[in-house]
């Protein structure tokens, strides 16, 4: 059954950098994915230590003047990051994010390494991303727009561990009614959530509908038919699926799976279609 968790209702735990809210994980909801929000005080830092078997993402949701130190393959790189930027870490990499000029709100996501589907690289590498510099996709009606931070098929990450990014809905826009299942190559049941930052609307499933709004994390089990619909406010939210090795079935809206590369032209005046598996 779909579950709606409001982040503001989860307890804050004092940590060295500030305060931590654990929203998803084995202890909270029995999930393989771990999701947390971290409030970082000015002058303090959040460090993601190297992991042997988990992929990690650290993302600046709120605040300016973040300083990032990213270590991969024994090489240290430093970056000044704006709001809505972050770092993707493969196992063996580490990162430290410091609130240099203002308090930060960071999103932390980590998932187990997905080894069931082979990759093109024997040693995948992490990377720093700035959302405003990434390619965006629009749907058939140009009423939904998505920007992936992590996605193997956009050429960003080199692994199938997760798909993560931002989705924006115009007023009254909605997704097709759809369902996700493991792919034929995956023994892992996919985990899926939306984290609403702005806007209100409802999430629908076979049991009915429930309202959602800012601060709500919508956890959707595999095999649950679902649909997200915005009110007049539209939506701005973070979408997640892991592993990125699943099948999607649409109901009564076969064009709902089509996405197009924003700002391109296929020669007919329409944007170029993005081909995905």
- Nearest CA among 186, 189, 243, 247 for reference residue 221: 189
Evaluate if residue 275 carries a pLDDT over 90.
no
Q: CA-CA distance, 262 to 277, in Å (whole number)?
A: 19
More confident residue, 100 or 116: 100
Q: What is the mean pLDDT of residues 251-266?
A: 82
Q: CA-CA distance, 64 to 84, in Å (whole number)?
A: 9
Structure token digits, residue 71: 């270590």
The pTM of the full predicted model, rounded to 2 decimals, is 0.95
Q: Distances in Å between the alpha carbon of 88 and those of 91, 175, 207, 215? A: 10, 27, 36, 23
Q: Which residues of 215-225 are buried (b: 16+ CB within 10 A; e: fewer)?
A: ebbbbbbeeeb
> Residues 24-52: pLDDT tens digits?
999 989 999 999 999 999 999 999 999 99
Q: CA-CA distance, 54 to 32, in Å (whole number)?
A: 10
Contact in structure between 247 and 178 (CB atoms under 8 Å): no
Residue 41, number of CB atoms within 10 A of its CB: 13
Q: CA-CA distance, 88 to 58, in Å (whole number)?
A: 7
> Residues 170-210: pLDDT tens digits?
999 999 999 999 898 888 889 999 999 999 999 999 989 99
């Amino acid at each position: 059954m779909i579950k709606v968790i409001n982040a503001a209702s989860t307890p804050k735990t004092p940590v060295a950098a500030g305060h931590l809210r654990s929203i998803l994980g084995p202890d909270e909801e029995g999930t393989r994915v771990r999701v947390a929000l971290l409030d970082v005080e000015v002058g303090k830092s959040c460090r993601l230590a190297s992991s042997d078997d988990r992929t990690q993402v650290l993302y600046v949701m709120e605040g300016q003047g973040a300083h990032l130190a990213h270590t991969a393959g024994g090489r240290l790189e430093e970056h000044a990051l704006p709001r809505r930027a972050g770092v993707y870490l493969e196992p063996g990499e580490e990162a430290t994010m410091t609130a240099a000029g203002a308090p930060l709100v960071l999103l932390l996501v980590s998932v187990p390494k997905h080894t069931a589907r082979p990759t093109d690289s024997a040693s995948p590498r992490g990377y720093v991303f700035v959302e405003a510099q990434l390619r965006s996709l629009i749907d058939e009606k140009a009423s939904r727009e998505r920007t992936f931070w992590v996605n193997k098929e956009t050429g960003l990450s080199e692994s199938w561990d997760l798909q993560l990014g931002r989705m924006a809905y115009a007023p009254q826009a909605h997704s097709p009614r759809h369902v996700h299942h493991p792919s034929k190559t995956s023994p892992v049941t996919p985990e899926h959530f939306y984290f609403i930052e702005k806007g209100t609307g409802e999430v629908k499933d076979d049991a009915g509908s429930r309202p959602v709004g800012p601060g709500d994390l919508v956890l959707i089990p595999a095999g649950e038919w679902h649909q997200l619909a915005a009110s007049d406010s539209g939506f701005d939210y973070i979408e997640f699926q892991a592993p990125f090795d699943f099948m999607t079935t649409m109901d009564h809206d076969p064009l709902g799976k089509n996405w197009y590369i924003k700002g391109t032209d296929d020669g007919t005046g329409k944007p170029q279609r993005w081909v995905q598996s």
